[in-house]
Structure 1
Amino acid sequence: MDQAVQDGYAKSFTGRLYAIALEKYVPLRLSHSSDKWNWGFTPQDDWLLAGGDAASIQLEFVFDSHTDDRLHFHISLPNSGYPAKKLGVSRNGYLGFYQLAQVIDYWKIEPLEMTDEGLICHLRDHQGHRVAALRDTPHHNRQTMYLLSATEGEILTFLLQRNA
């Protein structure tokens, strides 16, 4: 693993993840049970979605360990109560935030490239599955939203930005 990646990211920090699609940075957001879909289903609170115009949500990355080509983190929502809500995978493979006791596995960051804007990477679950996107439209605000999944969909590349 590149020394610059280790120096900058092999530790705990807060930051933001953006999905990269069509050469654009797509923000991540949380679903709300009040989100209404014109067809399909109504998501529950705190599923992780990609889409919209707002800045990507703030995340806490707690460093666990690393291998030659992966950084391992527990990812949680800052200020989400006690215990903090941690990123996990539902029984159906969707990413969402759950209370600490329900999530014990770490996430793997696979560094691809360091840039001036942050670390380009793949996000993998503890079993090594790369996170992917499933289009789910139309959303009540008429924006295209994507559910994030560890089991199906189009594989995503991410930009990981540390807070200054």
Structure 2
Amino acid sequence: MVDHVDKSFIATLYSTKSGRSGQIGISAQRTEFDFAESGWLQIVGHGQRVRPINFRFQFVEDQGDRIHYDITCASKVDGYLGKTLGRSSGGYLGLYGKNEITFFWKVQPLAEWYGGSERHFILRDYEGHEVKDYYSHRDGDRFLNAYEGKPLSFAVRVKALL
């Protein structure tokens, strides 16, 4: 059993998949009332109005080959500080109020997880769906989605241990 000295942390999240790599951010508001179109996770540089953010990974439990986390926004961007990472009914990943989300995220490490400042993994929702990059033909943006798209791999760069 691993000693979880650095189990919770704040980090910058990146997609490491070739052709779809970059920092993960959120779609920004166009107006102060634009909450339906904002708060969705995207790869910075692959969307028209994406703002980079940091994430808080709060350790829940270790399940052998997967580690469960509650993931929240750790950046003061458009009122999303402390909002929880969730999944819409269509599979899109976005930031929600704490009372709206009741599940955790599964991190599947691809290498040694604890001890380093950069950690590589596959991200899955609580049902085990692998997070993907989905191209929206409607507006030309690419969103993170649990149901549709091309599978992604991720890395975090740890900024602070909690």
Q: TM-score, normalised by structure 2?
A: 0.77
2:15 paired with 1:15: no
**Equivalent residue number for residue 94 of structure 2:** 96
Query: Any idea what SS the aligned residue of 2:23 has?
Result: strand
Asked whether the 8 Å contact 1:27–1:55 carries over to 2, the reply is no
Distance 1:23 1:133, change over 3 A: closer
Distance 2:51 2:39 in 1: 16
**Equivalent residue number for residue 49 of structure 1:** 42
**Equivalent residue number for residue 122 of structure 2:** 122
Distance 1:117 1:77 in 2: 19
* Match 2:147 to one of 136, 144, 151: 151
Deviation at 1:15, TM superposition (A): 0.6
Runs of 4+ in structure 1 displaced over 3 angstroms? 6-9, 53-56, 79-83, 114-117, 136-139
Asked whether the 8 Å contact 2:129–2:147 carries over to 1, the reply is yes
Q: Deviations over 1:8-47 (max 9, x none)?
A: 65x2211111001227741111112429xxxxxxx71100
* Match 2:110 to one of 112, 122, 128: 112
Distance 1:23 1:7 in 2: 34
Query: Any idea what SS the aligned residue of 1:113 has?
Result: coil
Distance 1:154 1:118, change over 3 A: same
Q: TM-score, normalised by structure 1?
A: 0.76
Give 5+ residue unaligned stretches, structure 1: 36-42
**Equivalent residue number for residue 27 of structure 1:** 23
* Match 1:65 to one of 61, 64, 78: 61
Q: Deviations over 1:101-155 (max 9, x none)?
A: 000100010001249661110000000111000124797xxxx842000111101
Query: Any idea what SS the aligned residue of 1:21 has?
Result: coil
Root-mean-square deviation (CA, aligned residues, Å) is 3.2
Give 5+ residue unaligned stretches, structure 2: none
Distance 1:32 1:137, change over 3 A: farther
